[in-house]
Structure 1
């Protein structure tokens, strides 16, 4: 096993081009960090598509409800679902939405985050204080940069597998 600072709070996301290592921030957003670990451990994030990828902005994924985007109906629905778990309350902080940070995707309701998240391609400080930051990419950002763009992409990239480093 690689030498991670805190394996229990490190996520290993396998993409087509390689592994993305994400450091969760349980001291900043404990409920969001715990939710990501819970869904990763259950396998819910495996094979989930990046359904909204905007060049120069971010890549969004994590819709475990509509994970199977093989048919047109689910392609249109992706981004509207979550998990069977209850929504999470906002855990806003002073951490900025810098390149490589993970933000919790949500509806207009600040307390509606569930399983979806996004990875910022660049500093997106206009999101500060409006979306929970609960992780950051510590290696493999070059793989995130290669995710196919689109809303939704015609042939979306997927999270092949998502694991907690302590379990790998």
Structure 2
């Protein structure tokens, strides 16, 4: 099995083994390795973007549940080739990488240049939410919804996506509804103070190392004086590409028993290496495991 999550890879270090005393909670590496196939789902090709840059590919899964209009619009922009030849023109170290049409002048065909912000989901039932126990400084409750780190207000059932590392969101100006084409990705630590201030509508499945290779901006707010150094070759919807060009990725289901146990393991840290166990897990520190489809792994191993 090919584990693709950076946090999952950390769990495979030599010290990551559960002790007998903590046998009720398995180590993260064991949970991921032994998760049954029905605890995984294929990445949604109809709602996955391939952002191809000069440094490589970034794979982004979108969330039409939380931001249907933004999801539709960026897919329309991708399909009309809007981003082809543009750039990731703002890269602020430890913060965000922002791309699109810096000039604001590139013609748009059928998509929209600006949209009404989709900051929250008006109602999310508790059954659709996999919680992370414990306090949070930015929300009454945090957890996961269909593969995305999220937050929720149990008093109103309102929910929203969280600005964890890899969050894919729409940049905007001072006007709330001014965003529509300029996306940004959180490349540093979680920027939770931005929650409910911009539209988060996806997350990076694979390609954070690609983003880290981009040239950093030296100007104010990380703007690049030569943005073409971070040229965007193209952005495409995965489902629109031939099968041979798609990445057959699977994401652990965040409503599965394996993922619930993984949350507990991140909280209690059963590995022998740990001297101090904080009995706490932040929603942004619980990585969602990713793997290549088993049939692909079998083909590779047979060669």
Aligned to 1:36: 74
Q: Residues 59 and 117 (structure 1 numbering): CA distance in 2 closer, same or farther, change over 3 Å? A: same
More helix by share: 2
Check whether the contact 1:82–1:116 (CA below 8 A) recurs between aligned residues: no
Aligned to 1:166: 239
Check whether the contact 2:113–2:179 (CA below 8 A) recurs between aligned residues: no
Q: Residues 83 and 98 (structure 1 numbering): CA distance in 2 closer, same or farther, change over 3 Å? A: farther
Aligned to 1:25: 63
SS at match of 1:51: strand
Q: Which has the larger radius of gyration?
A: 2
What do residues 47-82 of structure 1 show as CA deviations (whole Å, max 9, x unaligned)? 11112111110011111xxxxxxxxxxxxxx26557
Check whether the contact 2:92–2:223 (CA below 8 A) recurs between aligned residues: no
User: What TM-score do the two structures reach when normalised by structure 1?
Assistant: 0.84
Post-superposition shift, 1:17? 2.3
Aligned to 1:136: 203
Q: Over aligned residues, Cα RMSD in angstroms?
A: 1.8
Decide which moves more: 45-54 or 21-30.
45-54
SS at match of 2:161: coil
User: What TM-score do the two structures reach when normalised by structure 2?
Assistant: 0.48
What do residues 77-127 of structure 1 show as CA deviations (whole Å, max 9, x unaligned)? x26557642410010032111100111011111111110010101211110
* Runs (5+) with no aligned partner, structure 1: 64-77
Post-superposition shift, 1:152? 2.8
* 2:43 is the counterpart of 1:5: yes
The higher relative CO (CA closer than 8 Å, separation ≥ 6) is in 1
**Matched residue count:** 152
